[in-house]
Amino acid sequence: MNKTLAITLMVIGGLVLSALLFGAGLYVGRSNLGSVGFASTGMMRQGNANQGYSMMGNGYNMMGGPATVNSKPLTVAQATQAVEGYLKNLNNSDLELKEIMIFNNNAYARITEKSTGIGAMELLVDPTNLNVIPEYGPNMMWNLKYGGMGASNGMMSGRNGMMGGLNTNAESASSTMTVTPEEALTFAQTYLDKEYPGYKTATDADPFYGYYTIDITKDGNVTGMLSVNGFSGQVFLHTWHGTFIEMSE
Mean pLDDT of 180-203: 98
Where b means 16+ CB within 10 Å and e means fewer, 179-218 reads: bebebbbbbbebbbebbeeebbbeeebbbbbbbbbbbbbb
Mean pLDDT over the full length of the chain: 76
Q: Which residue has the higher pLDDT, 52 or 149?
A: 149
Record the pTM. Answer: 0.72
User: pLDDT at position 173, please?
Assistant: 83
User: pLDDT at position 8, please?
Assistant: 54
Name the CA radius of gyration of the chain, rounded: 17
Per-residue pLDDT tens digits for 115-130? 999 999 999 999 999 9
Cα dihedral: 21, 203, 118, 191 (round 10): 20
Per-residue pLDDT tens digits for 91-114? 999 999 999 999 999 999 999 999
Q: Give the residue range(s) of CATH 3.10.450 domains in the chain.
A: 76-172
User: pLDDT at position 23, please?
Assistant: 45
With cut-offs at 50, 70 and 90, classify the pLDDT of residue 199. Answer: very high
User: pLDDT at position 98, please?
Assistant: 98
User: For 194, what's the count of Cα atoms within 13 Å in the CB-facing half-sphere?
Assistant: 22
> Strands 199-201 and 206-207: what pairing?
unpaired
SS3 80: helix
Which architecture, in CATH terms, is 76-172? Answer: Roll (3.10)
Classify residue 42 as left (phi > 0), alpha (psi -120 to 50) or beta. Answer: left
SS3 181: helix
Beta strands in the chain (DSSP E): 36-38, 44-46, 95-103, 107-113, 119-125, 132-134, 199-201, 206-207, 211-218, 221-229, 235-237, 244-248
CB atoms within 10 A of CB 84: 13
Mean pLDDT of 149-169: 40
